[in-house]
Structure 1
Amino acid sequence: SENVTGYDKNGNIKSLQRYGQTGASAYGLIDNLTYTLTGNQLSRVDDAVSTAAYGTNTAFVNGASAAGEYAYDANGNLTKDLNKGITDIQYNVLNLPSTVSFSDGSTITYTYGADGTKLRTVHKIGSTTTTTDYCGNVIYENGTQKLLLTEEGYINLTGTQQYHYYLKDHQGNNRVVINQSGTVEETNHYYPFGGVFGTTGNTQPYKYNGKEFDTKKGLNWYDYGARHYDAALGRFTTNDRFAEKYYSMSPYQYGANNPVNNIDVNGDTIVVNPNPNGLIDNVKMFFGFDTKYQKDVKADLQQLKKDDKEIGEMIIELEKSKNVHSITRTKRGESNSSGFDREKAKKDIPQGSIINYDPDVKTDINGNHRTPRIGLIHELQHSSDVDKGIMSYENIGNGIPMREIRAINTENKIRKRTGDAKRTEYRGRKIPQKLLE
């Protein structure tokens, strides 16, 4: 079991106990951790238990006992972890690690595409160098094809090629790996915060939430895409880029400190109770969410699908998108809005989004009556644009951005169904009639 025994007022874990296997047939306390923090950042972790975990079971390794075991750069990225023997971590402009250096001279280097997609990892551990290339869903190791990843598992490309399938739990954790003959090749059990125990087989690296788990040189990080995660500590190594929207949470927390019910999809998005039911299940977690909000938004999404066939298809595309689109309640006094990376949008790079929506507000910013779901479909159109990488910043028609005209035309389809007045202006400026549908 894994028990958090204390949090600070920022939502950072202050103390944690972990029980596990201490021998072939012995079990007990393997971690009794005390975290020392400066603000939201770690400076030291002490373990009151000296008993080591048995085998490959996850446990904190107390490799140093000194002040300043951890350090961060000005962007809040972890640059030192003396407990793992890491003396320096360098980052690129996207705040993704480019080089991890160890005290014995070993290094791990990463290469990324312009959008942050990992393309290569090079492990130089002692005299051994291992190069892993990620070419779409094909994984190469030292120049040789190794794995072909599929939606349900993978195909090994070395030796006798065959299919391997994942059996997953409700969080997308890979619990069992079987081959095409039904033979069990690997089993995994997980602590709430993602550490592994009771593993047999260990035939492939994709584990908790289906994320790649790098154990080489004792790194023990999960790669979530946007950030890396240390399951032994229950913390990410870098800031959440959406942290300003969730001021009640530490920017390093995982899953709103509720890993049983929530998962972090890319390291910057929390999904509440993920299942195939649609967009509302991709909700950015905020303390205070209630069931009524989820039911209201689901009802609005379902009604929008019924209102208009094309709009329904657009919503389904967002639900099935590889990018994560989330819906959360607006802050008190604020209007509906959609959040995304403007710089990526200007470069037409597809991405996810966060929609801030209040299903109880029945007026627009001018005080006129408006059926709530009209505001939702306006923001969903923006999300569809950023998902496809077509968010236009061109001002046309009386200086109104094309992206807003597109969203207004979409909302007018619903206004026609609800009986709300057709919208013909944006922020007090008339939209030319020829641009209205």
Structure 2
Amino acid sequence: GQTGASAYGLIDNLTFTLNGNQLSRVDDAVSTVAYGTNTAFVNGASAAGEYAYDANGNLTKDLNKGITDIQYNVLNLPSTVSFSDGSTITYTYGADGTKLRTVHKIGSTTTTTDYCGNVIYENGTQKLLLTEEGYINLTGTQQYHYYLKDHQGNNRVVINQSGTVEETNHYYPFGGVFGTAGNTQPYKYNGKELDTKKGLNWYDYGARHYDAALGRFTTNDRFAEKYYSMSPYQYGANNPVNNIDVNGDTIVVNPNPNGLIDNVKMFFGFDTKYQKDVKADLQQLKKDDKEIGEMIIELEKSKNVHSITRTKRGESNSSGFDREKAKKDIPQGSIINYDPDVKTDINGNHRTPRIGLIHELQHSSDVDKGIMSYENIGNGIPMREIRAINTENKIRKRTGDAKRTEYRGRKIPQKLLE
């Protein structure tokens, strides 16, 4: 970033001191940043215990921002943020956690923002009407304003109804703003509201607040048990270029990794063709067979994450998981590589595409339960493959495809086929 009038270099060189997953201290070896409205880290303290957390894992202190105390409600949402100079930010929520009001008391100035559906009021006066593609300003001359977004859903440009550029934003991968022109509205990275008052620099994601300078949320992920290998404060699985904060409560159908267009479509809020095809196949499998439908629902509700993504060009359907954990019968998630456009099996024989999907879903069900068998029968066919073939044969019967009786050219004993 810009460190001087005509000089460029590091704007942050951070050292984290952690207590488990929680921050204790952050030090920055870089102190000069020329860009005045950036969201770079500010090293406002140099002491042990700069950060503190409550018993629920919620951040209660951030001395680098001058925050001495943060109070939370029963939903683990911040209710009051208190600063060392007496300034406060208070929040009011509905019973479902929807933010209704924010009150900033900064020095002698109080600003009250009310959120009434799509209408935003400031100090009792209508200010903005949010729309799907931007907003209408409700003060002065009323105009439509439109967002131009990138593949992450970040608001990069704001234009008015005449096409005049009013605001331009540039972001670091984790959401830090490193360049703006005309700061006309607060919705920035991922389209989330950025609160910069009193140097807070938090994005409001609804369930949690996010500090882009640190790449960390201020509270625990409620689905943290699904991501035991990652910090419960991480953002986007620490891969913000490809991921946006994930709910983690369903089978995740990822976009086509071979094309940018599908990536763009996903982040604009509607399904890609690939996602639609996979979801249609999953729905049809549920209708094809009751037991298979129950298995898919179990995977959707599992505490383990099971994802479906398109196979790479030239590769066959497959399931990805940790083999060592599977051999120890440790339950885990999986990644299914599936191409809904391929209508032949590995031997070149015709096969309805969703037959290949249910085969891999059976493997996912096995690893989800920790029952992936590595036992082979006499001719070397793994029992896990026989189980998957018996499951796919249920669908073959419904689709009219021939019953499968072999695995890689080897006959499966009749007594093992259902």
CA distance in 2, matches of 1:409, 1:390: 16
Assess if the C-alpha contact under 8 Å between 1:256 and 1:285 holds in 2: no
Assess if the C-alpha contact under 8 Å between 1:171 and 1:263 holds in 2: yes
User: Once structures 1 and 2 are overlaid, which stretch shifts more, 189-198 or 414-423?
Assistant: 414-423
Deviation, structure 1 residue 58: 2.2
User: Once structures 1 and 2 are overlaid, which stretch shifts more, 179-188 or 280-289?
Assistant: 280-289
Deviation, structure 1 residue 273: 6.2
Q: Which runs of 5+ in 2 are unaligned?
A: none
CA distance in 2, matches of 1:84, 1:171: 28
Report what 2:322 is aligned to.
341
CA distance in 2, matches of 1:214, 1:304: 46
- Over the aligned positions, Cα root-mean-square deviation in angstroms equals 10.8
Q: Deviations over 1:64-118 (max 9, x none)?
A: 0000000000010000000000000011111110100000010001111111111
Assess if the C-alpha contact under 8 Å between 1:345 and 1:386 holds in 2: yes
Report what 2:224 is aligned to.
243
User: Once structures 1 and 2 are overlaid, which stretch shifts more, 260-269 or 134-143?
Assistant: 260-269
SS at match of 1:416: helix
Q: How does 1:66-145 map to 2 (within 5 A)?
A: 66-145=47-126
Assess if the C-alpha contact under 8 Å between 1:63 and 1:82 holds in 2: yes
Assess if the C-alpha contact under 8 Å between 1:339 and 1:353 holds in 2: yes
CA distance in 2, matches of 1:287, 1:165: 14
* Structure 1 segments (4+ residues) deviating >6 Å: 266-296, 304-416, 419-437
Q: Deviations over 1:104-144 (max 9, x none)?
A: 01000111111111111110111111111111111111111
Assess if the C-alpha contact under 8 Å between 2:379 and 2:410 holds in 1: yes
Deviation, structure 1 residue 202: 0.6
Q: Deviations over 1:367-410 (max 9, x none)?
A: 99999979999999999999999999999999999999999999
Assess if the C-alpha contact under 8 Å between 2:226 and 2:248 holds in 1: no
SS at match of 2:264: coil
Deviation, structure 1 residue 431: 34
Assess if the C-alpha contact under 8 Å between 2:143 and 2:160 holds in 1: yes
Deviation, structure 1 residue 57: 1.8
SS at match of 1:420: coil
Q: Which runs of 5+ in 1 are unaligned?
A: 1-19
Cα distance change, pair 271–29 in 1 and its aligned pair in 2 (3 A): farther
Cα distance change, pair 267–313 in 1 and its aligned pair in 2 (3 A): closer
SS at match of 1:413: helix
Calculate the TM-score normalised by the size of structure 1.
0.64
User: Once structures 1 and 2 are overlaid, which stretch shifts more, 284-293 or 105-114?
Assistant: 284-293
CA distance in 2, matches of 1:125, 1:346: 58
Cα distance change, pair 247–390 in 1 and its aligned pair in 2 (3 A): closer
CA distance in 1, matches of 2:369, 2:216: 32
Assess if the C-alpha contact under 8 Å between 1:282 and 1:326 holds in 2: no
Assess if the C-alpha contact under 8 Å between 1:280 and 1:327 holds in 2: no
Report what 1:360 is aligned to.
341
SS at match of 1:63: coil
CA distance in 2, matches of 1:112, 1:334: 50
The one of 201, 204, 208 equivalent to 2:182 is 201
Assess if the C-alpha contact under 8 Å between 2:174 and 2:240 holds in 1: yes
Cα distance change, pair 414–129 in 1 and its aligned pair in 2 (3 A): farther
Calculate the TM-score normalised by the size of structure 2.
0.66
User: Once structures 1 and 2 are overlaid, which stretch shifts more, 329-338 or 117-126?
Assistant: 329-338
Deviation, structure 1 residue 24: 3.6
Deviation, structure 1 residue 429: 38
Q: Deviations over 1:216-250 (max 9, x none)?
A: 00000000011100000000111000000111111
Cα distance change, pair 188–88 in 1 and its aligned pair in 2 (3 A): same
Deviation, structure 1 residue 300: 2.5
Report what 1:10 is aligned to.
none
SS at match of 1:161: coil
Higher strand share: 1
Deviation, structure 1 residue 55: 1.5
Assess if the C-alpha contact under 8 Å between 1:225 and 1:267 holds in 2: no
Deviation, structure 1 residue 54: 1.9
User: Once structures 1 and 2 are overlaid, which stretch shifts more, 226-235 or 379-388?
Assistant: 379-388
Q: Deviations over 1:137-158 (max 9, x none)?
A: 1111111110000000000000
Cα distance change, pair 41–408 in 1 and its aligned pair in 2 (3 A): same
The one of 269, 287, 296 equivalent to 2:250 is 269
The reply to whether residue 309 of structure 1 matches residue 318 of structure 2 is no
Deviation, structure 1 residue 342: 32
Cα distance change, pair 47–157 in 1 and its aligned pair in 2 (3 A): same
Assess if the C-alpha contact under 8 Å between 2:35 and 2:178 holds in 1: no
CA distance in 1, matches of 2:185, 2:375: 47
Cα distance change, pair 424–359 in 1 and its aligned pair in 2 (3 A): same
- Select the structure of larger CA radius of gyration: 2
Q: Percent identity?
A: 99
Deviation, structure 1 residue 23: 2.8
User: Once structures 1 and 2 are overlaid, which stretch shifts more, 365-374 or 145-154?
Assistant: 365-374
Q: How does 1:168-317 map to 2 (within 5 A)?
A: 168-264=149-245, 297=278, 300-301=281-282
